Structures are given as structure tokens and as C-alpha cells.
Amino acid sequence: MRSFIISIPFVLSFIINSSAQSKRSTTIKTEALVPKFNLPELLISENGSQINTKETWEQIRRPEILELFTNQVYGKVPGKLTFHKAVVLDYSEVALGNKAIRKQVALHFEKGSKSIEMIVLMYLPKGVKNAPVFLGYNFSGNHAVHADPAILISGKTVAQLSPNELARLKPDSRGKRNSRWQADKIVAAGYGLVTVDYGDVDPDKNDFSDGIHALFYEENQTNPEPHQWGSLAAWAWGMSRVMDYFETETLVDENSVILFGHSRLGKTALWAGASDSRFSIVISNNSGCGGAALSRRRFGEKVSDINTNFPHWFAKNFHQYNENELALPIDQHMLIALIAPRPVYVASASLDPWADPNGEFLSTKAATSVYELYGKKGIEVDRQPAVNTPIHNTIGYHLREGKHNVTAYDWDQYIQFSNLHLN
Ligand code: GCU
């Protein structure tokens, strides 16, 4: 075990307030209180041999680590399934002030007597053949991403919604999350924006009777097995299914898909990017515990917090590490390393101690040795950079000033980073 120095001489103290957005516990943390620990070795295989080439990384160590994350953390997808039909619900060439093509497609999935549907909203820059795209889930419905009145609400027009659906899907929230998505900025930069409501794949509640899980159950099964997928792995699976669709969609360049996610969906993006190498770039925005942040630091949200507040997110096997992070055979730097040699970007926010910004940075630093096997630059500095001073090597990192959120500043970085790294 290589010793990893995490104690920093200055003392920063943070007060984490409970927020309406989530069940954040009230806690105080300082760097000085971070326990000392050794990170599991990235470049020593289970049989003790040193990994020092990209070939041995790919043939030996990477599969070992992927297997550990699959069985111990996010959970295994129990089978294969792709969409059996893609129905175009809407197509317009005059969207976003005549700057974009808007296309809305329903992807249908069926198994046995069960089915789900993902509604994919796409804005593609006009005049760009095979557009590179940012792909990411949204939290509040496609209609919250932009004020465009033609965005369907769960695949329907307002007139088609039942009174129950009207109450649940809140048509008046149209455009409410505009600032998080910056569709106009993205399209002006020559990229498409593609998004899906994450609840289409698996509603975010501790209930495995609905969503995609139920399609895969054996007879009389009602919950995933301890090593099988929780909700994060289900959402990651959904991103791969959109990628299957891109492979059939001539408007999108499937070799230039930038996977993006914020918070729990940033965790999702990292796992999807690690388990499916078709994504060209992966971006984690404020993903925190179970995402980019090192679990062993126990800073902000701990493994026991996340497994208690969100018991359905990870495989049940992950719960054995509650208050027992040192027993984890992996830590989150290894998740980032699984994405190598593809560009990966981790973004933190200065007023987001719950997500442990420094732990997110240290993860990118510790993943660097794998990028170096490919002759790529990861993170060269030892200390977390100052606010608003981004690093855009093959591993990107920034600490944005402000709260847990996605802002125009973040998108400016993601666009510049993608301009730099897409072929
Ligand atoms: C909670 C949770 C975090 C998560 C966040 C979010 O705060 O504790 O792990 O990232 O919700 O997804 O908004």
C-alpha cells in the first residue's frame, strides 16, 4: 500500500446546512479531522504484480477493478436488453430561434409483460452534420430544461395529460432549470444537447417494483440480489441505451458523445463512462460521495450517510462498508482511472462541502498514474487549485466559486474542454 498524504496544514471549517434539495445532515468538518489512510493500489494487481504498461492495465488490472466496482459498489446488470422501437414524437428545424433542430423520440423497452419508455429530447445545431453532443439526465422533466413550449411533458402535450399527471409533472415548471442546461450556449458552440428524465428509467425511490429493474426479475423476485444493480447502475444502463440509439441516429456523431451529470447523476455519469467505453468524454459535476470523492476521507457525506438516506442507489453489497471504508477494496480514484485514456472532467464547487471538493480533486490526482501509462497528462499539481482556475489536461478539474449547482461557468469549461479533446 502506498501512503497517500491527505492532511493539509491549514484548517478549513465548514458548516453544512440542511437543504431543501436533499437530506443533508448538519455536520462540521475540517481537513485536520480527515483520518489518515492508504488508498488501495491502482497499479498492483491482485496477484501482486506491478502494472506498468497500458497493455497490462487493460488486460489484468482494469478488469479486476471493474469487477470490484460492479459487485461491491454499483451492482451488476442482470442481463441484456435494448430498445425495440424508437418512435419520433416531434421534429422541428426551427427550434431555439431557428438555430437548432429539435427532435423528441420515445425509446420503448419490453421484457415479458413489462415495459418502460424513455423520452429523449434532442437539440442539435443546425447545419452541423453528425453533431457532437452533450448527453445527460435531468431531474425535473425534459420540459424544465428549456422554456421552449414544444417540449413534451413525459412524452405528452399539456392537453393530453390527465389531472393526476398535471399535478405530478407540473407543466408550469417549464424552463425552470434553464440555467443548469444552457441549451442556447451549447448549440451556439456547435454541440447538441440530449437529455432524458432520469425517472423514466427508474423512479428515484426505495422501491424496486417499478422502473427497469422489474423487467429483469426471475420468477418471484421482488428486489435485486445483493450484488445486483441499484438505481445508479440502472440510470447508467439507460445512458448506454441512448448510446445504442445514437448508433442508429444520423443526426448525432456517436463517436463524439460527452456524458454529463450533476450530483447523483454525476455519480451515474462516472459509472456509465467507466462501464461503457463508447462515451468519448465523461463529466462529473459536484458528484461527491460514491462519485468522484474519495470515500476514505469521510469528509462531508460518508458511505453510511448515503446508504442510509438513499438505500436504493447502490448494490446492497456496498452497505457492508458503512462506517467501514477501510475495508473497501477500491476507492473512487479507481473509478476515474477506469475511464482512461478518455478525457474525464471533475468539477467541484467551493460551497459544497457535502460533496468534499478536495476529495474530488485528490481522486483525479490519484488516477493520474493510469493516464500516464497512455502518455496522457492527468493532474500535475499536488494541491487543489484556487477557485475558478480550471485545469484542462486529459483529466480536467475545477473548483467553481459557489454552491452545489451547474452554472454557465461550468458549461463554459465543459465546452472548452470538449473543443480541446474531441478529435
Ligand atoms: C444528496 C446526496 C448526494 C447527492 C445529492 C444530489 O445531497 O446526499 O450524494 O449527490 O443529493 O444528487 O442532489
Q: Say yes or no: CB of residue 262 within 6 Å of ligand 1.
A: no
Question: In this structure, which topology does domain 85-422 adopt according to CATH?
Answer: Rossmann fold (3.40.50)
Exposed/middle/buried for residue 218 (C-beta within 10 Å: 0-12, 13-18, 19+)? exposed
Element at 262 (helix H, strand E): strand 252-262
- Contact between residue 413 and residue 388 where contact means Cβ atoms under 8 Å apart: no
**For position 45, what pLDDT does the model report?**
98
Strand order in the sheet with 100-111: 85-94, 100-111, 114-125, 192-197, 131-138, 252-262, 281-285, 344-351, 395-403, 391-392
Measured from the Cα of 286, ligand 1's closest atom is 10
The DSSP bridge pattern shows strands 252-262 and 281-285 to be parallel
Question: Which position has the grid cell 392537453?
Answer: 159
**CB neighbourhood size of 58 (10 A):** 15
Which atom of ligand 1 sits closest to the CA of residue 289? 9
Of 261, 252, 259, 251, which Cα lies nearest the Cα of 278? 259
**Is 0.75 surpassed by the pTM of this model?**
yes
pLDDT at 234: 98
Per-residue pLDDT of the chain (423 residues; tens, 9 = 90+): 434 444 333 333 333 333 334 445 556 479 999 999 999 999 999 999 999 999 999 999 999 999 999 999 999 999 999 999 999 999 999 999 999 999 999 999 999 999 999 999 999 999 998 999 999 999 999 999 999 999 999 999 999 999 999 998 899 999 999 999 999 999 999 999 999 999 999 999 999 999 999 999 999 999 999 999 999 999 999 999 999 999 999 999 999 999 999 999 999 999 999 999 999 999 999 999 999 999 999 999 999 999 999 999 999 999 999 999 999 999 999 999 999 999 999 999 999 999 999 999 999 999 999 999 999 999 999 999 999 999 999 999 999 999 999 999 999 999 999 999 997
Q: Point out the residues that are catalytic.
A: 263, 404
What DSSP designation does 177 have? T
Best mutation site among 303, 348, 354, 406 for ligand 1 pocket (most ligand atoms within 8 Å of CB): 354
How far does Cα 413 stand from its chain's mean position? Answer: 17
**113: exposed, middle or buried (Cβ count in 10 Å: 0-12, 13-18, 19+):** exposed
Distances in whole angstroms, Cα of residue 114 to Cα of each of 210, 214, 220: 9, 7, 14
275: CA distance to ligand 1 center in Å? 22
Distance of CA 283 from the midpoint of ligand 1 (Å): 16
Which residue among 232, 262, 264 is best mutated to probe the pocket of ligand 1, counting the most ligand atoms within 8 A of its Cβ? 264
In angstroms, rounded to a whole number, what is the distance separating the alpha carbons of residues 414 and 409?
Answer: 9
- Tell me, in angstroms, the distance from the centre of ligand 1 to residue 93's CA: 37
Residue ID of nearest Cα to ligand 1 atom 12: 264
CA of 187 to the centre of ligand 1 (A): 28
Report the separation in Å between the CA atom of 58 and the middle of ligand 1, taken as the mean of its atom positions: 32
- What are the phi and psi torsion angles at 124 (to 5°)? -125, 135
**CA 73, 238, 331: angle at the middle one, nearest 5?**
20
Nearest-angstrom CA–CA distance, 119 and 122: 10
The response to whether residue 264 sits with its C-beta less than 6 Å from ligand 1 reads yes
3 CB neighbour count, 10 Å cutoff: 9
Q: Is the CB of 136 under 6 A from ligand 1?
A: no
Q: Is 232 in the pocket of ligand 1 (CB under 6 A)?
A: no
Shortest-distance Cα residue to atom 13 of ligand 1: 263
